[in-house]
Structures are given as C-alpha cells and as structure tokens.
Amino acid sequence: MGDMQGHDVELDVTSIAHGGISVARLDGRVVFVTDAIPGEKVVARITDDRKKSFWRADTVSVLEPSEHRQAHVWSAASIDRDPARRAGGAEFGHIELSHQRELKRQVLVDALTRMGKVDEETTKGITVEALDGDDDLSGTRWRTRIRLHVDEAGRPGPYAARSHTVVAVDDLPLATEAVEAAAPLEQLFAGEEQIDVLAPSDGGARLIVGSQARTTVVERVGDREFRLDDGGFWQVHRLAAGTLTAAVQDLIDPERFDPRAMNLDLYGGVGLLAAAVGDRFGQATRITSVESDTRATDHAAENLAEWIGAAAVTGRVERWITELATTSSPGERQRLRDATVVLDPPRSGAGREVVERIASIEPAQIVYVACDPVALARDIALFAERGYQLQDLRAFDLFPNTHHLETVVRLSR
C-alpha cells in the first residue's frame, strides 16, 4: 500500500463516471470519489492508492455543495455516517432526482460515443425518461424485491456500499411499503446467509429465507398474468415490466416485422418480452424464447401458451444460437433473415460470440434491452462491425436513487 490510504484530501469534482462514482483530480492524478456530485469541492478519505493511474476515495464532508445536492433519501446511506457503515444500494440518493437522470444521460452518451462509436448527432435527443409517480415520491418506494444479508449475530441488513459488511438499518425507503413492512429488520436469523423480501402483484409480501423451497408467484402487466418462481428473475421497479413491454413494442419497426418469421427472444426469462411482441403483432406471431434457467423456461411455456407459434426452450444462448446459425436449412435461413431478434442479456452484455452469431443469421432487426450502458455500447460497436447500425433508442430511469438505468435500442442494416 502507498502512504495516502486513510488520509483526507480536498478534491475538486469534475465529472461523473460509470458505476455511480464521480471523477476528481488531485495534483493531476485521477481520483474516483463516492457520494459526490460534479462541480463540488469535497473532503474525501483515500481508500485505495495502490494503482499509479488512479486512486479511490469516499467523500466525508462537502466544502462547496452542488445546487443539486439534497438530504439523502436514506439516512442510513448519508454522508454523516462513517463511509464503511453507509448502506449500499442508493448511491445517487444525495442528488436531486432530475439531476440524477441528467448524470445518467451523460454516462450513456459518453459510453455510446466513446465505446459504441455512435456519432454525436445520433445521441443529441437522448433523455432518461422518468416512470409515473417516481417524482412525487422522490424516487423512493419502487423496489418490489430486496435482498438482505445476515451478519455474524444473525441480524439482517443491506451490505455497506462497496463491501460485504452487513449494516443495521431501521428503514428501507427504496422498497415499496409492502416490502418494507414485511422486511424482518428486528429479527435474528442465526446461521442463514440472506433473506429475500418480495411483494409480487398478487398475494401480498413474502420472505425467502436462505435457499428455501420455491413457490410460484403471479406478476401482472396490464391484463396479462405471468407465473414465476418467487426467487426467479423479475424486473424490480413496480412499473418496470410494463414500461419495458411498451418500449419493446414501440421500438420494433412494424415495416420490418414478419409474424411468420423465426422471431427470437433471447435471455427470455419467463416470457415477458416474447409476450410483448405477441401482444403487439397478434395471435399468429411466431417467436421462440430462449433461457438457460429450466424453471424460468417451464414458466415461460405456460405464460406464452396462448400463441400457437410461441415456444420456450431451455438453452445457453451462446450454444443455442451457434447451433441455429450452423444447422438451419435454406428455408429456415430465409425465415431467420426475416426475423426480429429481441435480447435482454445479463449486466455483462451479450459479448462478441453472441453478437457475431446473431449477425450471422442476418435478422431484419434487433431490439436490445440493456441494464448496463457500457456493456451495451461495446455490443453496439460489435454489431456495427457486422453492418447493424443504431436506428432508435429510449432510456428509462428504472432504478431511481441508484446509478443504474435501462436502455432499449433498435439496430438494423
């Protein structure tokens, strides 16, 4: 270790970086600093000085606050607490909500232009859209699912920011009221590692202690019901599933959509986006949803049962799409060229192998749902190498008071 770790320094904060941290300079050196806002002068404690190229630091006090600074929406994460004991998961909670969205827009535009090689003209009109009701609630009360970790003494709580230290809290303001009310913050769970608290559309809140047996829950999007395991993946914001359904329906170019083609929904989960496509283009829509989790695929088959041409298959997307690309008959190849491919990969993105396989089947259009702007930008650059250009984009603030955002794009040749 160097000799600066644990020391407090004054920093001028210049810009935002991906990951909810700000960029500052100290004698020409880059310092990544938490709990700050671009434009501020802060006192920060150096937490990592091992690298020559940059250091890391936590803000401990603010000398010149931004006009966008507010009292933190979660006192457990506030700057008044020792950085090692600040609750994680609300790293933008000290920033006024509309400015959070502006910072997210900057991160997205920066990723698209620098890594995605998208020209600046294309990024001009980008905004990060708010979801209904979030402004009235200052970006709180949206999480329908929350994970608590258990400390040595058995007490549940969130991890501290950027560590695996469990911190005791007495409220969970980002959680919906039902989730907060059900969270057993005062109980002890000796010997357990984690507690999941969720409040699906139907049947009230529930806890999953450790790796308890799974039960099925129902989530509603508009008039449609989706069944899934209580511990299975579902969008966290109370309005996220409906927002993404509408966004995917909106971004598919109907001129390029063929209901009889071999349309694909990759990383399909329990069938949310395949159903969005089916609802937009009708009963005759053919679409295959591909998901590696067997339980999710079983639910997807049931959730998509009303479309005769819908299928849910279990498979790792990389392997499945490779097989499809290499074994399809001439007739299938034509139906793939007419296809719309929807994909919603994990945070790490689709990556080169999957991008190249998708591009090799030459689909009519690709609609990509991304929860990480940097991974998305890398994949956009890879698609561009294969002739697929960004045609349209919408970005959504599905995770208020955190640095995360969701982006949906359409690519075509």
Q: Is 344 labelled a binding residue?
A: yes
Which residues, in sequence order, are CB contacts of 141 under 8 Å at separation 6+?
Answer: 173, 174, 175, 176, 177
Asked if 341 is an active-site residue, the reply is: no
Q: How many CA atoms lie within 13 A of 39 on its CB side?
A: 9
How far is 156 from 110, CA to CA, in rounded Å?
A: 38
302 labeled binding residue: no
Is 235 annotated in a binding site? The answer is yes
| 409, 370 contact by CB (below 8 A) | yes
Residue with tokens 């984690």: 194
Tokens representing residue 56 in the block: 């890391």
Of 46, 287, 371, 393, the catalytic one is 371
According to DSSP, the β-strands at 389-396 and 128-129 are parallel
Q: Is 406 annotated as a binding residue?
A: no
How far from chain centre, in Å, is Cα 95?
19
Beta carbons of 127 and 163 less than 8 angstroms apart = no
Please report, in range form, the residues annotated as the binding site for S-adenosyl-L-methionine. Answer: 235, 267, 291, 344
Binding residues: 235, 267, 291, 344
* Residues with catalytic function: 371
